[in-house]
Amino acid sequence: MDKVCILGNVGQAPELRYTAGGTPVTNISVATKQVLPKVRDGQPTECPDGWGEYGTKWTKTTWYRCSAWRGLAEMIAEHVKKGQMVYLEGQLTGEVTAGVQNPRVWTGNDGVPKASYEMLIKTFEFAGQSGGGGGNRAPEEPSGYRPDTKGDDVDIPF
């Protein structure tokens, strides 16, 4: 079984589109952040490879491109806003080589190789505060949406 759980902030407004057959698909980007202290036991630590400096902490942000289908796609497109914290469960998609799931790799406009993790969302929940000036109030949108499982075994055309 392949199951991935991420907790992060939505990076841009959801993109809703429809397949030729009329099936709704929504894409969102979600950023997760790991944080390490710069000082441990009174001693400064070195910046780990790939990490950045943020105040008194080392941080690393990982971006995920996430897609949802059918009713879950429409719900996300209607209720999710940039900056909101969300909890997602699903499975990784991308490139499979010799039976190994890998991130999708491409070359950016600047000629630098890039990679992204991609996820098919199966379960979605609002989590915590919204970003972008939402303050401490809880989101008003419904949470805990789980799509029906009918049709989940069907191959999804990307």
For residue 120, give its domain range: 4-126
Q: Please indicate, yes or no, if residue 147 is contained in any of the structural domains.
A: no
Residues 6+ apart with CB under 8 A from 94: 101, 102, 103, 104, 116, 117, 118
pLDDT tens-digit readout, 43-76: 777 777 777 777 778 888 888 999 999 999 999 9
pLDDT tens-digit readout, 73-117: 999 999 999 999 999 999 988 777 787 777 888 888 998 888 778
Count of structural domains within the chain: 1
Beta strands in the chain (DSSP E): 4-10, 15-18, 24-37, 39-40, 43-44, 52-54, 57-69, 85-93, 95-97, 100-102, 104-107, 113-126
| Residue 13 to residues 9, 56, 69, 110, Cα–Cα distance (Å) | 11, 31, 16, 25
Q: Please indicate, yes or no, if residue 108 is contained in any of the structural domains.
A: yes
pTM of the model: 0.69
Q: Please indicate, yes or no, if residue 47 is contained in any of the structural domains.
A: yes
Helix (H, G, I), strand (E, B) or coil at 76: helix
Q: Please indicate, yes or no, if residue 73 is contained in any of the structural domains.
A: yes
| CATH number, position 16 | 2.40.50.140
